């Protein structure tokens, strides 16, 4: 029976996906238990000063699952997981899969507003968190959450747990002899069509929506994208982005690498000073980055101090990776190719192929990974646009959700009547058959009726030698409605002037009406927990700046 709040796939499509072998009808916990056994003597992951083999991961996750079963968790038990890139995350994730419990992947930077909402919204039975995250006391938050939510019975702590009822150390549970047996776990009824994980939508405003990913679709998601990521025996993936996010968890992430007997190297920090020595020491072969992360590395003086020739593949996701930055990345990592991933926690994944011509890899965001990925690009009238024209991406397929969790009113707006997800992303089809990201549907500046793609302008501005990163947003204008403001993070001490930037755009042949009409130099751009530039924050700042200027007096 379909879990309440989850939109099922139509029967005819589900049958088709099974017939083609996309869906295996096996719970993730079962699949990974076999995988760990098959690769038992290999290194599974490295975290801090710890090295775990697949056999140690198998034994640890099994023991933890049995102890959590003793505490009452089982199939469909919702669990909010807010853990950093640490060993406890990995062992707990696979223990929960063995139980058929459903982890919701909160991020380390979330606070009471977000965590409180998630605990209440999914009816969480457990909350997993470190004892502290920076200067934030997660245990105090857990106490308040338990007072407000009677279902929240367990707090699973990475670190020392206080001597209070309901608080348990994950490390202690890894040492404790459980009452439940392996046979007790084997008898659990886990429906492969149930959610194996709740991911979060990548929006930069409001509280993200909850995305149910099933055992069937999430396993296929990881298997297929791993197959085009050149994963070989002995390879190692660097995980520096928050590990619970869809990209480092499953696209291909640790799931895809573990399925191939390859290892993950976890870093708690994404700073160059932490990451670059780790790449050198552990001979990392694959990176998964967001553009803001790689831009920070390229601008850091640490970049020239480490041997980085082990890296073969740099996957970038989360935001458009501009061609100029791709070329600079391949210069900094001399043996690597950049492989852009255009994806979403909602499902659809596009990726450039490593055998695409360099100009195609640099200029496009790839193409879908599955023949059954159905893609439409539509205009404002809802009709498909011609090849080469920009349209909103609509998609459906064997690993793309059919509805957000428990929000039918949102689903009526976010999905077409025939089940296509309306992504809000603006794309065009490249002559190669790949796709080019042109921004977001709302990431437009409407200047006197002329709609300007912010990303088009950003792409060009990033080629300026004084620009490390840039975000263009609309600022209100009483005559034209909107004008463009460019927020620039400078490379080095010399910041560019507006005249220098518009001069570059003019030299590149960009229409004058698309030029930014205000420049604000910032130390850094605001990022969401997912590593995306928070343009809503910048748009508010631009509006405030215009308002202050209009009043003619400082505030």
Q: Which two tokens stand for residue 307?
A: 């041997």
The string over 501-533, giving b where at least 16 C-beta atoms fall within 10 Å of a residue's C-beta and e elsewhere, is: bbebbeeeebeeebbbbbbbebeebbbbbbbbb
Partners of residue 141 on adjacent β-strands = none
pLDDT band at 450 (very low <50, low <70, confident <90, very high): confident
Pick 445 or 275 by higher pLDDT. Answer: 275
Mean predicted confidence (pLDDT) in 147-162: 97
pLDDT band at 522 (very low <50, low <70, confident <90, very high): very high
| 205 is a domain residue | no
**Residue 471 is inside which H or E element, if any?**
strand 467-477
pLDDT at 464 over 50: yes
The DSSP output letter for 533 is B
pLDDT value of residue 553: 36
| 207 is a domain residue | no
CATH number at residue 520: 3.30.300.30
pLDDT band at 474 (very low <50, low <70, confident <90, very high): very high
Q: Are residues 466 and 350 in the same domain?
A: no
- Identify the domain boundary among 440, 469, 495: 440
Mean predicted confidence (pLDDT) in 464-479: 94
Q: Are residues 436 and 458 in the same domain?
A: no
pLDDT band at 510 (very low <50, low <70, confident <90, very high): confident
Mean predicted confidence (pLDDT) in 369-380: 96
CB atoms within 10 A of CB 298: 16
| Residue bearing tokens 């979403």 | 344
Check: CB of residue 275 under 8 Å from CB of residue 237: no
Q: Are residues 145 and 229 in the same domain?
A: no
pLDDT at 552 over 50: no
Cα 354 to Cα 341: distance, rounded to the nearest angstrom: 12
Q: Are residues 284 and 161 in the same domain?
A: no
| 66 is a domain residue | yes
Residue 131 to residues 93, 112, 142, 161, Cα–Cα distance (Å): 18, 15, 10, 7
Domain extent for 311: 216-440
Per-residue three-class SS string for 412-451: HHHECCCCCEEEEEEEEECCCCCEEEEEECCCEEEECCEE
| Residue bearing tokens 């009726």 | 449
End-to-end CA gap in the chain: 60
Cα 36 to Cα 492: distance, rounded to the nearest angstrom: 47
Mean predicted confidence (pLDDT) in 141-166: 97
Cα 43 to Cα 263: distance, rounded to the nearest angstrom: 6
Q: Are residues 382 and 300 in the same domain?
A: yes
Write the CB contacts of 109 (distance below 8 Å, at least 6 apart in sequence): 242, 529
Mean predicted confidence (pLDDT) in 249-256: 98
Beta strands, E only, 131-262: 132-133, 136-137, 154-158, 167-169, 195-200, 210-214, 236-239
Q: Which of 443, 439, 444 is nearest to 428 (CA)?
A: 439
Q: Are residues 378 and 475 in the same domain?
A: no
| 200 is a domain residue | no
Cα 426 to Cα 187: distance, rounded to the nearest angstrom: 47
| 197 is a domain residue | no
CATH number at residue 369: 3.40.50.12780
Angle between helices 87-99 and 28-38 (to 10 degrees): 120
pLDDT tens digits along 70-97: 999 999 999 999 999 999 999 999 999 9
Cα 390 to Cα 440: distance, rounded to the nearest angstrom: 11
Check: CB of residue 522 under 8 Å from CB of residue 485: no
The string over 133-154, giving b where at least 16 C-beta atoms fall within 10 Å of a residue's C-beta and e elsewhere, is: beeeebbebbeebbeebeebbb
How far out from the chain centre does Cα 35 lie?
24
| 69 is a domain residue | yes
Mean predicted confidence (pLDDT) in 421-434: 96
**Helical segments of 215-333, H only:** 215-226, 246-250, 253-259, 272-282, 291-298, 323-332
Q: Are residues 69 and 158 in the same domain?
A: yes
pLDDT tens digits along 320-343: 888 999 999 999 999 999 999 999
Write the CB contacts of 478 (distance below 8 Å, at least 6 apart in sequence): none
Q: Are residues 384 and 471 in the same domain?
A: no
| 3 is a domain residue | no
Q: Are residues 242 and 347 in the same domain?
A: yes
- Check: pTM over 0.85? Answer yes or no: yes
Q: Which two tokens stand for residue 331?
A: 């210069």
Q: Which of 34-43, 73-82, 200-209 has the lowest mean pLDDT?
A: 200-209
pLDDT value of residue 208: 80
Q: Are residues 180 and 222 in the same domain?
A: no
Q: Are residues 119 and 233 in the same domain?
A: no
Mean predicted confidence (pLDDT) in 371-380: 96
Alpha-carbon torsion, ordered 402, 406, 409, 411, to 10 deg: -10
pLDDT band at 548 (very low <50, low <70, confident <90, very high): low
Q: Give the count of alpha carbons within 13 A of 224, CB side only.
A: 23
pLDDT tens digits along 261-271: 999 999 999 99
Phi and psi at residue 434, to the nearest 5°: -75, 180
pLDDT value of residue 453: 82
pLDDT at 206 over 60: no
Q: Are residues 432 and 460 in the same domain?
A: no
Partners of residue 421 on adjacent β-strands = 395, 415
> For the sheet containing 126-130, what is the strand order?
167-169, 154-158, 126-130, 78-81, 102-105, 195-200, 210-214
| 147 is a domain residue | yes
pLDDT value of residue 529: 74
Tally of domains within the chain = 3
- Identify the domain boundary among 440, 467, 489: 440
pLDDT averaged over the chain?
A: 94
Name the percent of the chain lying above pLDDT 70.
97
Q: Which two tokens stand for residue 188?
A: 């659990």
């Amino acid at each position: 029976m379909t879990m309440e709040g989850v939109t099922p796939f139509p029967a005819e499509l589900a049958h088709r996906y099974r017939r083609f072998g996309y869906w295996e009808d096996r719970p993730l916990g079962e699949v990974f238990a076999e995988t760990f056994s098959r690769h038992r003597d290999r290194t599974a992951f490295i975290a801090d000063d710890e090295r775990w083999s697949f056999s140690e991961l198998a034994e640890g996750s099994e023991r933890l699952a049995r102890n959590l079963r003793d505490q009452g968790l089982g199939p469909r038990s919702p669990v909010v997981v807010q853990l950093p890139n640490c060993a406890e995350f990995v062992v707990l994730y696979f223990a929960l899969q063995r139980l058929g419990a459903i982890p919701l992947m909160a991020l380390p930077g979330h606070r009471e507003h977000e965590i409180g909402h998630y605990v209440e919204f999914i009816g969480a039975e457990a909350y997993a968190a470190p004892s502290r995250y920076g200067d934030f006391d997660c245990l105090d938050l857990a106490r308040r959450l338990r007072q407000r939510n009677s279902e929240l019975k367990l707090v699973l702590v990475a670190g020392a747990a206080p001597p209070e009822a309901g608080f348990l150390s994950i490390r202690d549970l890894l040492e404790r002899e459980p009452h439940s047996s392996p046979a007790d776990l084997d008898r659990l009824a886990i429906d492969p069509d149930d959610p194996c994980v709740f991911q979060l939508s990548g929006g930069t405003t409001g509280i993200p929506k909850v995305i149910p990913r099933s055992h069937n679709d999430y396993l296929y998601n990881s298997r297929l994208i791993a197959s085009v990521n050149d994963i070989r025996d002995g390879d190692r993936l660097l995980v520096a982005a928050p590990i619970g996010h869809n990209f480092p968890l499953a696209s291909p992430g640790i799931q895809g690498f573990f399925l191939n007997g390859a290892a993950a190297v976890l870093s708690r920090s994404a700073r160059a000073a932490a990451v670059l020595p780790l790449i050198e020491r552990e001979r990392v072969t694959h990176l998964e980055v967001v553009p803001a992360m790689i831009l920070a590395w390229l601008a850091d003086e640490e970049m020239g101090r480490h041997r980085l020739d082990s890296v073969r593949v740099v996957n970038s996701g989360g935001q458009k990776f501009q061609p100029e930055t791709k070329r600079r990345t391949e210069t900094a990592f001399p043996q690597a190719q950049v492989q852009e991933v255009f994806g979403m926690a909602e499902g659809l994944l596009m990726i450039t192929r490593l055998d695409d011509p360099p100009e195609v890899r640099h200029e496009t965001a790839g193409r879908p990974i599955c023949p059954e990925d159905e893609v439409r690009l539509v205009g404002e009238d809802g009709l498909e646009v011609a090849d080469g024209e920009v349209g909103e991406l609509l998609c459906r397929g064997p690993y793309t959700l059919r509805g957000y969790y428990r929000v039918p009113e949102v689903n009526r707006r976010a999905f077409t009547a025939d089940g296509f997800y309306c992504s809000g992303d603006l794309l065009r089809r490249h002559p190669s058959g790949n796709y080019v990201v042109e921004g977001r549907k709302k990431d437009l500046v409407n200047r006197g009726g002329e709609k300007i793609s912010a990303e088009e302008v950003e792409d060009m501005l990033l080629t300026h030698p004084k620009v490390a990163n840039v975000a263009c947003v609309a600022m209100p204008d009483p005559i034209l409605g909107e004008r463009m403001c460019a927020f620039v993070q400078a490379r080095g001490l010399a910041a560019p002037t507006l005249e220098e930037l518009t001069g570059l755009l003019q030299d590149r042949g960009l229409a004058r009406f698309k030029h930014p009409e205000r420049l604000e130099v910032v130390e850094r751009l605001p990022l969401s927990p997912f590593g995306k530039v928070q343009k809503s924050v910048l748009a508010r700042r631009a509006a405030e700046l215009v308002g202050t200027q209009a009043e003619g007096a400082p505030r």
